[in-house]
Amino acid sequence: MKNSFGNSMAVTLFGESHGPYTGVVLDGLAPGIRVDGAFIGKQLELRRPWGRISTSRVEADEYQIVSGVFGGFTTGTPLCILIPNRESSSGDYDVLSHTARPGHADYTAQCKYHGFQDYRGGGHFSGRLTAALVAAGAVVIPALKEKGILIGSHLKSCAGVQDDSFACEPGELARQIGEVNGKKFAVLNAEAGAAMQAEIEKASEEGDSTGGVIETAVTGLPAGLGEPWFDSIESLLSHALFSIPSVKGVQFGAGFDLADGRGSSFNDAFRVRDGRIVTETNNNGGINGGITNGMPVVFRCAVKPTASIFRNQKTVDFKVCEDTELALTGRHDPAIIHRARVVVDSVTALVIYDILSGRFGTDFFSGRK
CA distances in angstroms from 212 to 184, 185, 194, listed in the order given? 16, 13, 15
In the bound complex, what is the minimum distance in angstroms from residue 22's beta carbon to a copy of itself?
A: 7
In the bound complex, what is the minimum distance in angstroms from residue 4's beta carbon to a copy of itself?
A: 6
In the bound complex, what is the minimum distance in angstroms from residue 135's beta carbon to a copy of itself?
A: 15
Q: Which is nearer to a copy of itself, 117 or 176 (CB)?
A: 117
Strands 79-84 and 64-67: antiparallel
Q: Which is nearer to a copy of itself, 57 or 182 (CB)?
A: 57
Buried residues in 224-236 as b, exposed as e (16+ CB within 10 A): ebbbeeeebbbeb
Q: State the DSSP code for 56.
A: S
In the bound complex, what is the minimum distance in angstroms from residue 289's beta carbon to a copy of itself?
A: 2
Tally of CA atoms within 13 A in the half-sphere of 138 that contains its CB: 26
Q: Which is nearer to a copy of itself, 39 or 360 (CB)?
A: 360
- Which amino acid belongs to residue 346? S
Residues 290 and 233 sit within 8 Å (Cβ to Cβ): yes
Separation between Cα atoms, residue 21 and residue 66, nearest integer Å:
12
Q: Phi then psi for 141, rounded to 5 degrees?
A: -55, -45
Separation between Cα atoms, residue 300 and residue 285, nearest integer Å:
10
Q: Which is nearer to a copy of itself, 45 or 363 (CB)?
A: 363
Separation between Cα atoms, residue 348 and residue 137, nearest integer Å:
8
Q: Phi then psi for 358, rounded to 5 degrees?
A: -65, -40
Q: Which is nearer to a copy of itself, 180 or 356 (CB)?
A: 356
Q: Which is nearer to a copy of itself, 44 or 287 (CB)?
A: 287
In the bound complex, what is the minimum distance in angstroms from residue 344's beta carbon to a copy of itself?
A: 13
Q: Which is nearer to a copy of itself, 52 or 175 (CB)?
A: 52
Q: Which is nearer to a copy of itself, 145 or 232 (CB)?
A: 232
Residues 365 and 357 sit within 8 Å (Cβ to Cβ): yes
In the bound complex, what is the minimum distance in angstroms from residue 38's beta carbon to a copy of itself?
A: 21
In the bound complex, what is the minimum distance in angstroms from residue 25's beta carbon to a copy of itself?
A: 5
Q: Which is nearer to a copy of itself, 172 or 206 (CB)?
A: 206
Strands 291-292 and 297-303: unpaired
In the bound complex, what is the minimum distance in angstroms from residue 219's beta carbon to a copy of itself?
A: 17
Q: Which is nearer to a copy of itself, 303 or 352 (CB)?
A: 303
Q: Which of 174, 202, 211 is nearest to 341 (CA)?
A: 211
In the bound complex, what is the minimum distance in angstroms from residue 187's beta carbon to a copy of itself?
A: 15
Residues 345 and 6 sit within 8 Å (Cβ to Cβ): no
Q: Phi then psi for 230, rounded to 5 degrees?
A: -80, -15
Separation between Cα atoms, residue 314 and residue 367, nearest integer Å:
56
SS3 sequence, 331-356? CCCCCCHHHHHHHHHHHHHHHHHHHH
In the bound complex, what is the minimum distance in angstroms from residue 306's beta carbon to a copy of itself?
A: 6
Residues 341 and 166 sit within 8 Å (Cβ to Cβ): no
